[in-house]
Structure 1
Amino acid sequence: MPDLLLGQTLTFTDDPFLSGPDAAQHERNGAVLIDGGRIQAVGPADVLRAQHPQATIHNYGSALISPGFIDAHAHYPQTGIIASWGKRLIDWLDTYTFPEESRFGDPAHAARAAETCLDLMLAQGTTTVCSFCTIHPESVDALFSAAQARGMRVLGGKTCMDRNAPDTLRDTAQAAYDQSKALLNRWHGVDRLSYVITPRFAPTSTPDQLAALGALWAEHPSVLMQTHLSEQHEEIAWVGDLFPQARDYLDVYESFGLLGRKALFGHAIHLTARERARLREVGAALVHCPTSNAFIGSGLFDMAGLKAEGQRVALATDIGGGSSFSMLRTMAAAYEIGQLGGTALHPAQLWWLATAGSAQALGLGDTIGTLRPGIEADLAIINLASTPAIAQRAARADNFWEALFPTLMMGDDRAITATWVAGKPTRPSLL
């Protein structure tokens, strides 16, 4: 029996950074028909109700039916240390991240963290995440097993490090290759899961390890590769010391076969002109992590400039360096950082980044991230009057974008009326 969801609908036909707000289609009295885990139709409520009288009705009133949010860069093992005080990137890793990640060789600990993280994300309307794991294969198994149990589309990979990390978190070039390959063969393409080749970042991998992972990617060019790039000035200087032969940070990755259209580079704040030109040329994706950039003091991502020159950009929480599991809060932070850079991002642009834009960056633009027939039915139902403060502001709105923007800026998990995963409403166990 198909399900028919009634409410406001919002979907995108193009990138609003290129086409403006008209790239988004809003239907005040809309409907989404779901059957077999996929969207079958989107249109006016009265039309779809007449065409499908047998469908089970889910009337969400004036709530917004949106594609589920897509978090393009996260560290699920850092769930337990989110909102830890007072450090910048390198000290953050040494003080908080590495001690916590050392625990993930314990399958039970890894399973608890993965389940908690995914449930927190579902409660915030996030239906897909691309996550770093730890060096332990058990951490990858835990993430994908938790995703399977929830029917989620999730991407992730073993984080590889063979230097500048504690003994408990170092593998070797050969182990990184062998274990990553085994995990890729075990999990990639199973159910809704995708393996991602994952060197943490250049400072924690020797040239041999980066070369091994580049070779693995060459053998499996259809998978994604994720890492970090140019997050803080101290990090960039460190990379320069470790790789003195490289022209710049990006050149390190390229020299080891770790640059291409299926590459995801987290942060990418302090890029040189050459790096920007090369990233645009190959079509790699940059992942903006605004709450993390503010919380750890990294800098201001040049969203307006990067998009204007044709870069592919996604949006992400970067938990636990990021300070919120909420993609609403992440959009708000992206707006605030845009303002500091002199550009007010339109709500259509922000919502696109959190849905269709991130889907496209992950190579999943024809699979998730928008409302159209054939797309997997991952949805977030958004209450646009979830708190008194939001409700009173939305009531004064003259158009849809004015009504949406208060939720974008002030919304939290109270705004998530429901989350649908693979065509089924879900209620995280933590609620």
Structure 2
Amino acid sequence: MSQCKAYRASILHSVADPSEVGAEASYEYFEDGLLVVENGTVIDLGSAESLLSSLSPEVEVVHYADALITPGFVDTHIHYPQVGIIGSYGSQLLDWLETYTFPCEGEFADSQHASEQADLFLREMLRNGTTTALVFGTVHKQSMDAFFEQASKLNLRVIGGKVLMDRNAPDYLLDTAESGYADSKELIERWHGKGRLSYAVTPRFAPTSSAEQLELAGKLLKEFPGLYMHTHLSENRQEIEWVKELFPERGGYLDVYDHHGLIGERSVFAHCVHLRDDECQRLGDTGSAVAFCPTSNLFLGSGLLDLARLEEHGVRVGLGTDIGAGTSFSQLQSLNEAYKILQLQGQKLDPFKGLYLATLGGAKSLYLDYKIGNLKPGKEADFVVLDYNATPLVGDRLKRAQSLEEKLFALMILGDDRAVKETFSAGASVHQR
């Protein structure tokens, strides 16, 4: 039976990259808008005045006063097993892994624990308005079974994978090149393409995988067209030096992945703070994407991502929270920190560019912009309702805003999970504040 519903509020979405077309041409805005959804898909979008008269009388219209509807946020890099270590004190990357990450991930050998943490993670993600995410599991096959089971209950468009890690980690977290391949293959056959789920081949990073394991990761990508590849790259200077020691025969960190067939469309590299120009160009030429993780890069002291340089080389860039080194599930908070990172380098983050990075830019990085990322008719109805009166401070600031640009920027700087009134996935309400 057809289910049609309409949502009335101010509505804003990206239609193009502001860096390519200019801010004014990059978005569509309806001060008093109407979003019409049927069977999980957007079927119409426009001004309420023009669309209400054409609606069938039985269509329910939900009206949100003092609110803004935007597409659901896209998180291009996050670790679901690291929720328990957010806000842990005082380490840079390699110490962080040894001190906090590995012990926390060891607990996911227990399927019940993995299931409970997956549920907590997904609820927190939706509470912050994120409807699509590219997600790390742990080395345990059951960690991804638990994750995909929980995500499928909510009909979320998510991508995830079991971590591949056969060296330079505690024994209780190691697989082997062969077991990692076999477990991944089993998970791919069980979950990839089921509903709105997709699988990502997930070597943690080059130092924790042997050449044999990376070779088999490349083999999986060849065997199953449409898979993703998700890993870390050039986050920390000490890490880069370690990669040089472990792979002296390769021409650099990116070349390790390149040699094993791990770069190209649907390959997403988190961080990329310390890339060389030739590496930027190679990522651009191959259609690979970078996940910009502002709160994590600042928290671990990793460095400042040069967004302008990546874009000069044609690299696709999405936004990532990188929980648990990242400090917030909120992509509004990610944009807050991204703005400051770019300020320190003499770059500006226009609020319409921020909206693009958190929605359509992330969707393009994942090659999903034909399904999600904005609210054009035919797209999946993933959207979020942002409350203009989320806090007394936000309410007062937005009343003083003289333009849409000022209003959006204030939300980007002051907003967090409290700004999210309701989150929808495929037309269904999956979070209400």
TM-score, normalised relative to structure 1: 0.98
The letter for the 2-side match of 1:43 is G
403-412 or 234-243: bigger deviation: 403-412
> Cα offset for 1:309?
3.0
1:227 and 2:225 correspond: no
C-alpha separation in 2, matches of 1:187 and 1:71: 20
C-alpha separation in 1, matches of 2:359 and 2:179: 35
* Deviations, residues 238-291 of structure 1 (Å, cap 9, x unaligned): 000000011110000011111112210000110011111111111100110000
Q: Which residue of 2 aligns with 1:6?
A: 8
> Cα offset for 1:222?
1.5
1:25 and 2:43 correspond: no
Q: Which residue of 2 aligns with 1:65?
A: 69
Instruction: Report SS of the residue matched to 1:276.
Output: helix
* Deviations, residues 202-222 of structure 1 (Å, cap 9, x unaligned): 000001101111111111231
Give 1:128's match in structure 2, choosing from 114, 132, 139. Answer: 132
1:98 and 2:77 correspond: no
Q: Which residue of 2 aligns with 1:50?
A: 53
1:276 and 2:280 correspond: yes
1:414 and 2:418 correspond: yes
Q: Which residue of 1 aligns with 2:370?
A: 366
Instruction: Report SS of the residue matched to 1:395.
Output: helix
C-alpha separation in 1, matches of 2:38 and 2:263: 39
1:332 and 2:336 correspond: yes
The letter for the 2-side match of 1:4 is A
C-alpha separation in 1, matches of 2:254 and 2:37: 43
C-alpha separation in 2, matches of 1:75 and 1:360: 21
Q: Which residue of 2 aligns with 1:35?
A: 38
> Cα offset for 1:12?
2.0
The letter for the 2-side match of 1:44 is S
Matched-pair contact (CA < 8 Å) for 2:14–2:355 = no
> Cα offset for 1:62?
2.9
Instruction: Report SS of the residue matched to 2:102.
Output: helix
Q: Which residue of 2 aligns with 1:396?
A: 400
Q: Which runs of 4+ in 1 moved over 6 A?
A: none
Matched-pair contact (CA < 8 Å) for 2:16–2:356 = no
Instruction: Report SS of the residue matched to 2:269.
Output: strand
The letter for the 2-side match of 1:113 is Q
Q: Which residue of 2 aligns with 1:251?
A: 255
Q: Which residue of 2 aligns with 1:299?
A: 303
Gap regions ≥5 residues in structure 2: none
Matched-pair contact (CA < 8 Å) for 1:384–1:404 = no
Q: Which residue of 2 aligns with 1:142?
A: 146
* Deviations, residues 319-372 of structure 1 (Å, cap 9, x unaligned): 001011111101111111111111111000011111111011111101111011
Give 1:196's match in structure 2, choosing from 197, 200, 204. Answer: 200
C-alpha separation in 1, matches of 2:261 and 2:417: 41
C-alpha separation in 2, matches of 1:358 and 1:207: 30
Identity of aligned residues (%): 45
C-alpha separation in 2, matches of 1:292 and 1:261: 25
Instruction: Report SS of the residue matched to 1:151.
Output: coil
Q: Which residue of 1 aligns with 2:379?
A: 375
* Deviations, residues 37-65 of structure 1 (Å, cap 9, x unaligned): 11110001122211113311110123111
Matched-pair contact (CA < 8 Å) for 1:385–1:407 = no
TM-score, normalised relative to structure 2: 0.97
